[in-house]
Amino acid sequence: MAGPELRFDNKVVVVTGAGGGLGKAYALFFASRGASVVVNDLGGSFKGEGASTKAADVVVDEIRAAGGKAVANYDSVEHGDKIIDTAVQAFGTVHVLINNAGILRDISFKNMKDADWDLIMKVHVEGSYKACFLRRCCCNAGWLLQCSKAAWPHFRKQKYGRIINTSSAAGLFGSFGQCNYSAAKLGLVGFSETLAKEGAKYNILCNAIAPVAASRMTQTVMPEEVLANLKPDWIVPVVAYLVHESNQTENGGIFEVGAGHVAKLRWERSKGALYKPDSTMTPGAILKKWDQVKDFSSASHPDGPADFMGLLEQAMALGSNDQGSAISFKDKVVLV
Ligand code: NAI
């Protein structure tokens, strides 16, 4: 059942890393559904070496040949503000940002060089941040001004924005030889969850996906017959729904997508154990109730720190029985 056709007429969509793989599939789709698309790609290798304008140009040519609207941008996402500048110059604003560009620098932790760690962080984490928001200084008649670049100010002003950040199973669960990539990809989950909270009142929704798809990134690690069933096209509809205006509620989610399987992930907290926070809370006391700490039979699914504060209050109350009054975290802002 195909369902209603979700269109993107009059929407400006920026897709980073759109010269190949998943990004190309997104760009072709959004253009075919009426969007004006910025096709960003640095055009380097999957390890982040080199650069070429060809990757983005080929996709833009394909979109235009089919009657669609697209412009190319060849900047690295490390300069994400320039990508958004391209959207604003060509189409006046930006409505949807798909942070998709990515590279791999797989190597065991023992052998990792700083450069392997730094480049992964720059492309995945900083790249996503800088396309969303970058405040840079510029000089105007001798005065230093702060100019807001990138997508977030446009989203806020027009009270409309949709962001997808691209995480990975490697980030959610860990993956041998990918500690740099895992750290970056889980970082993007926290980034999404926070943008979702900060953007909600401006109708800016932000979700993260953990895709599995055939691309040059996965072609060496999966057998051909498996790859044949993992088309990037099977990731596109989920992303398209999440960034469509008909999605008014799905915000801050994490979705596992691949080969026609779509599922939402969430955090789970065991009921846990309560200890009196005094000198009786020894490592031995922890050991005694460790089975309770890790018992998920009465688990809950937190989506914010508020209920955690309730649990802290319960623990504090145990400790304060001797001293009289319990301490309440209600209405307190707690920064950790
Ligand atoms: P891909 O290698 O086919 O596509 C990535 C694109 O990003 C390339 O066209 C590349 O030139 C571009 N790119 C790389 N660095 C860039 C930079 N600094 N600035 C601008 N563009 C840059 O790989 P694929 O599979 O399509 O990956 C897309 C995203 O999905 C990545 O973030 C990847 O980490 C993520 N992902 C992919 C999975 C898969 O199964 N294919 C699994 C989990 C996550």
The CATH number covering residue 101 comes to 3.40.50.720
- Ligand 1 neighbourhood includes 80 CB (under 6 angstroms): no
- Site of tokens 């001004």: 145
- Examine the domain organization and report whether 41 and 147 are in the same domain: yes
Quote the tokens at residue 56.
């983005």
- Ligand 1 neighbourhood includes 17 CB (under 6 angstroms): yes
- Ligand 1 neighbourhood includes 211 CB (under 6 angstroms): yes
- Give the ligand 1 atom nearest the CA of 230: 40
- Examine the domain organization and report whether 141 and 182 are in the same domain: yes
- Examine the domain organization and report whether 149 and 39 are in the same domain: yes
Q: Ligand 1 center to residue 103 CA distance, Å?
A: 6
ipTM topping 0.90? yes
DSSP structure string for 33-49? TT-EEEEE-----TTS-
Those residues of the chain that have pLDDT short of 50 are 144-148, 324-326, 334-336
- Examine the domain organization and report whether 285 and 200 are in the same domain: no
Contact 174, 182 (CB under 8 A): yes
Quote the tokens at residue 230.
């993992």
State residue 19's pLDDT score. 98
User: How many Cα atoms within 13 Å fall on the side-chain side of residue 116?
Assistant: 17
Find the helix packing angle between 21-32 and 236-243, rounded to 10°: 60
- Distance between CA atoms of residues 244 and 96, nearest Å: 9
φ/ψ (deg, to 5) at 183: -60, -45
Domain residues for the domain of 286 are 266-336
Helices (H), ranges, the chain = 21-32, 54-65, 80-91, 114-120, 127-132, 151-158, 169-173, 179-199, 224-227, 236-243, 283-288, 290-293, 306-320
State residue 324's pLDDT score. 44
State residue 1's pLDDT score. 77
Residue 4 resides in a domain: no
Contact 17, 23 (CB under 8 A): yes
**For the chain, what is the largest distance between any 2 Cα atoms, rounded to a whole number of angstroms?**
77
Q: CA geometry: angle at 129 spanning 215 and 262, to 5°?
A: 45
Residue 325 resides in a domain: yes
- Distance between CA atoms of residues 257 and 230, nearest Å: 10
Q: Ligand 1 center to residue 102 CA distance, Å?
A: 4
State residue 331's pLDDT score. 57
Per-position b or e across 47-73, b if 16+ CB within 10 A of its CB: ebeeeeeebbbbbbebbeeeebbbbbb
- Ligand 1 neighbourhood includes 44 CB (under 6 angstroms): yes
- Examine the domain organization and report whether 27 and 101 are in the same domain: yes
Q: Ligand 1 center to residue 45 CA distance, Å?
A: 10
- Distance between CA atoms of residues 258 and 234, nearest Å: 6
State residue 336's pLDDT score. 45
Q: Which of 83, 100, 186 for mutating ligand 1's site (highest number of atoms within 8 Å of CB)?
A: 100
- Examine the domain organization and report whether 38 and 68 are in the same domain: yes
Q: Which of 41, 178, 239 for mutating ligand 1's site (highest number of atoms within 8 Å of CB)?
A: 41
Total domain count, the chain:
2
Active-site residue, selected from the candidate residues 26, 181, 241, 275: 181
State residue 85's pLDDT score. 94
Residue 156 resides in a domain: yes
Residue 82 resides in a domain: yes
- Examine the domain organization and report whether 61 and 144 are in the same domain: yes
- Examine the domain organization and report whether 39 and 175 are in the same domain: yes
- Distance between CA atoms of residues 94 and 155, nearest Å: 7
Residue 115: CB atoms within 10 A of its CB come to 10
- Distance between CA atoms of residues 58 and 247, nearest Å: 31
Which residue has its alpha carbon closest to ligand 1 atom 3? 21
- Ligand 1 neighbourhood includes 213 CB (under 6 angstroms): yes
- Examine the domain organization and report whether 172 and 285 are in the same domain: no
Residue 1 resides in a domain: no
- Ligand 1 neighbourhood includes 52 CB (under 6 angstroms): no
Q: Ligand 1 center to residue 336 CA distance, Å?
A: 33
Active site (annotated) includes residue 181: yes
Paired with 134 in beta bridges are 149
Nearest Cα to Cα of residue 164 among 304, 30, 50:
30
Amino acid residing at 265: L
Domain at 303, CATH number: 1.10.287.4290
Report CA-CA distances (Å) from 98 to 2, 132, 136, 284.
23, 10, 22, 49
Which residue has its alpha carbon closest to ligand 1 atom 1? 21
